[in-house]
Amino acid sequence: MNFIEKLNMAVEKNRSLVCVGLDTSPELIPPGMSVFDFNKAIIDATADLVCAYKPNLAFYEAQGEKGLEALYRTVQYVPKAIPVIGDAKRGDIGNTSEAYEKALFEQIGFDAATINPYLGFDAVEPFLKNKDKFAFILCRTSNKGAADFQSLLCQYEGKMRPLYEVVALKANQWNTNHNVGLVVGATYPEELKNIRQTHPDMVFLIPGVGAQGGDLKLAVNYGIDKNRRGIVINSSRQIIYASHGTDFALAARRATHTLRDEINKHLTEVRG
């Protein structure tokens, strides 16, 4: 199965648009527990409630060899029917991007990855060649500093547009294999609405709910496609650190269940 097929099956089976971000820091997990064992417990507790998992590579790379081993084991442990998104934000020219692609897709085994388009198409192209894999292009990110560049007006095709709109237009042009999506933060709902209106069929990875304060109702309302899908709503800290005690896995399950049900409630409120 390719990424979209696997994603849609998980969405249907688990009635979920929730992606759990496995951004695991050793100092925030129960003392004496390994990162992999923590992730394993989170996955066991939530696998019937999610449509995807998303480890952020920075948290594993920061731990050195031990962290990378935990990352490999975590990706392998996720049930095969659930896609795993590598939050890597990679993107470089020529053979460097080709090496990144091989590392993320062939060696680690991610189904999808987040990609930085700043260097242009030749930095993105290696991630698009395998039709079974998927690239989420950074478009309108959820952080406060996103406006430093992403809101800058650019002249493109005879119009002045903010840079994030140009990125979305370019990503749509690159989507010839139907394996390109966009990262659009819940913290910028009007921009999310605008991008969905101009790109009705693309899949959006939506961070920014929970700890970053994004409006979940607006993210659902403005993000979904005509089939009431097309969004993957990520939550990391709100779920995996719902409790810092020995009940962390149960607390993570409760938080995931609550988020899934809130999303589904908002879906029923959206006018068709």
Residue 213: is its pLDDT beyond 80?
no
Distance CA 217, CA 209 (A): 10
Residue 238: is its pLDDT beyond 90?
yes
Distance CA 58, CA 100 (A): 14
Instruction: List the one residue out of 14, 18, 1, 82 whose CA is nearest residue 239.
Output: 18
pLDDT at 208: 87
pLDDT at 32: 94
Residue 18: is its pLDDT beyond 70?
yes
| pTM to 2 decimal places | 0.96
pLDDT at 94: 85
pLDDT in tens, 161-210: 999 999 999 999 999 999 999 999 999 999 999 999 999 999 999 998 87
Phi (first) and psi of residue 188, to 5 degrees: -130, 70
Catalytic residue among 6, 66, 80, 89: 89
**Average pLDDT over all residues of the chain:** 96
pLDDT at 212: 73
pLDDT in tens, 105-143: 999 999 999 999 999 999 999 999 999 999 999 999 999
80 a catalytic residue = no
Alpha carbon distances (Å) from 59 to 7, 46, 101, 224? 24, 20, 19, 30
Tell me what the mean pLDDT of segment 249-256 comes to: 98
pLDDT at 205: 98
Residue 222: is its pLDDT beyond 90?
yes
The helix (H) or strand (E) run that includes residue 184 is strand 180-184
Residue 271: is its pLDDT beyond 70?
no
Give the whole-number percent of the chain exceeding pLDDT 90: 95
Residue 98: is its pLDDT beyond 80?
yes
Q: Which domains does the chain have, with CATH numbers?
A: 3-269 (3.20.20.70)
Give the pLDDT band (50/70/90) at residue 17: very high
